A and B are shown apart, each in its own frame.
Chain A
Amino acid sequence: MSNQRDLQGRDELAIAERAAAWLSALRHEDGEDRRAAFAEWLRESPRHVEEVLFASTVERALAGFDAKGEIDVEEILREAPGNVVQLKEKAHLTSALSPLGRRRGRKTGWVVAAGMAMAAVAGWVAIDSFGGERYSTSIGEQRAVELDDGSLVYLNTHSRVRVRFTADGRDIELLQGEALFKVAQEAGRPFRVHTADAVIQALGTQFNVYRRTGGTIVSVIDGRVRVAHGRPAADTAGGPTELVAGEAAEVAAERPIVKQPAPDLAQATAWRQRRLVFQADTLEDIAAEFNRYNRTPQIQIEGEAARQTRFTGVFDADDPMSLVQLLGKDRELTFEERADGLVLKSRPGP
């Protein structure tokens, strides 16, 4: 029995999942809009056609499976672990820790970055009059998009991209959020990702781009990319930088591009498994990450001490209550439920 999936299989999984979701959606909520959206999706790629056919086949093959009911579901459920990995350690250090994790924000330069974002958007509005496909995800949603050239874009939650392909280049603007790119090699047609802060150019490679308020973080999984500032940058910003597989860098306006000393690429792409990984991250950043995936409940942190408390752990992105419940056990923290969400704060001292 050889049931292992190869690497390619892993990448294809997203399309297979989408195909299964479409079959289910058409069965459960059949309607003109839905069918139109499905037809459009089918027309996007032969791979979509293939996966819908195979999804139907798999469902058919499963139809007669274990008809006698010999497999005991209750027994399987007893094997299932809770969906949260317990917090492994609580780091009591605060600012002494070096900023390793990509989830850490830099709050400096916020105003400048916002200005740059507007300038960049204005630039793209002009380009948009030439057209360009847009893809987006709502809060909690992820999707994979296969582009015309065979490249794959995995969009994380609450993200938007705009795609514009011409004979000379393949340009994608990450308008919001985060995406993982798997680039099909094509000589003479560079593949570029634009954010307000950065332009990332690649050939035959895989990389993750996370557009945050204070800057853009680029992590290279495979191959090589060239990272430059998004606009002609000030003298203080320095020039472009090349990143190879295993490297990550943060790009922010008016600052030199900073390579991260010890990037954790598994962490950078953990979102594809809808896992949130935190390594001595502040509660403020942790809450922001959960809020990115879940419209409700929105988690708020009150008080500077609570905001700066750091935690390490792995969570299911869809389950913010698991965070709240675990932190609720912490003697230094308390939480309350309000109409507008959940509030975590420091417990009043004795």
Chain B
Amino acid sequence: MNEERIKNPHPSPLPQAGEGKEKGGFEQYQPALQRFLLRRLRCTQDARDLAQEVYLRVLRVADPKLVRQPLSYLYRIASNVVYEFHIHQQHEAVTFDSEAMEQLAEHPANVQPDEMSDRLSLQRQIAGVLKELPPLQRAILLMQKRDGLSYAEIAQKLSISVHTVEKYLFRALAVVRATKWER
């Protein structure tokens, strides 16, 4: 657990005009937000509360500002809300840390045992969820997310339309999200 990150959660200002095209990079935002959401993939009241609070704040953002970088705004607002949640709940146990994933690969000995088991558990669960997807959806998900193929490349490979590739991919992602995740 990294207490430091929770206490010092880069409370940087919201994105400003002129920052350029939105990249939609979830990674560049709060690891704490990612950990929070990962732990609440199971539909919990916490996630509902978070979404409700973020929603209310999104409504308050002026339209042109939101339109300029909607995803960046969303992640940043959510990060701030999660930070405030943590302040309220002090030492909220955060057991999943996405950054430690890379650490684990490079220096397995440095990683806390419980973190390692969480990580392995997540990977195992993803493997389990994928197995339940129809083969075509599973193949498309792997080709896109693991192998980095474009929709057009997948469509050509499978002799189906790009529209169908998208349809199956979004369905597969939704099923993964809707899975009952274990802790």
Contacts and interface: CB of A to CB of B under 8 A. Distances in A.
Interface in A293-346: 318-319
A339 B58 CA distance: 49
A106 interface: no
Interface string A246-257: 000000000000
A23 B179 CA distance: 19
A79 B135 contact: yes
Given A65-B126, A77-B135, A53 B37 contact: yes
B94 interface: no
A54 B26 CA distance: 11
A42 B47 contact: no
Contacts of A50: 47-48, 50-51
B171 A17 contact: yes
B123 A65 contact: yes
Interface residues of B, number: 70
Contacts of B55: 42, 45-46, 49
A52 interface: yes
A318 B74 contact: no
Contact of A20 (B37, B74, B170): B170
Contacts of A76: 135, 138-139, 142
B70 interface: yes
A266 interface: no
Interface of A, secondary structure class, is: helix
Nearest to B143: A73
Contacts, number: 181
B38 interface: yes
B67 A21 contact: no
B14 interface: no
Contacts of A28: 151
A54 B41 contact: yes
B122 to A, nearest CB: 6
Interface stretch (A56-64, A212-220, A233-241): A56-64
Contacts of A319: 164
Interface string B146-183: 11000100000010010110110111011111111010
A58 B176 contact: yes
Interface in B63-92: 63, 66-71, 74-75, 78
Contacts of B128: 1, 3
B135 A59 contact: no
25 contacts: A1-B125, A5-B178, A13-B171, A14-B174, A20-B174, A26-B22, A26-B24, A35-B68, A39-B63, A49-B55, A49-B58, A49-B74, A52-B74, A53-B33, A53-B78, A54-B47, A56-B26, A56-B75, A57-B177, A61-B122, A62-B146, A65-B127, A71-B130, A73-B147, A318-B161
Interface of A: 1-6, 9-10, 12-14, 16-21, 23-24, 26-28, 30, 32, 35-36, 38-39, 42-43, 45-47, 49-67, 69, 71, 73, 76-77, 79-81, 83, 140, 274, 318-319
Interface of B: 21-22, 24, 26-27, 33-34, 37-38, 41, 47-48, 50-52, 54-55, 58-59, 63, 66-71, 74-75, 78, 98, 101, 122-123, 125-130, 132, 134-136, 138-139, 141-143, 145-147, 151, 158, 161, 163-164, 166-167, 169-171, 173-180, 182
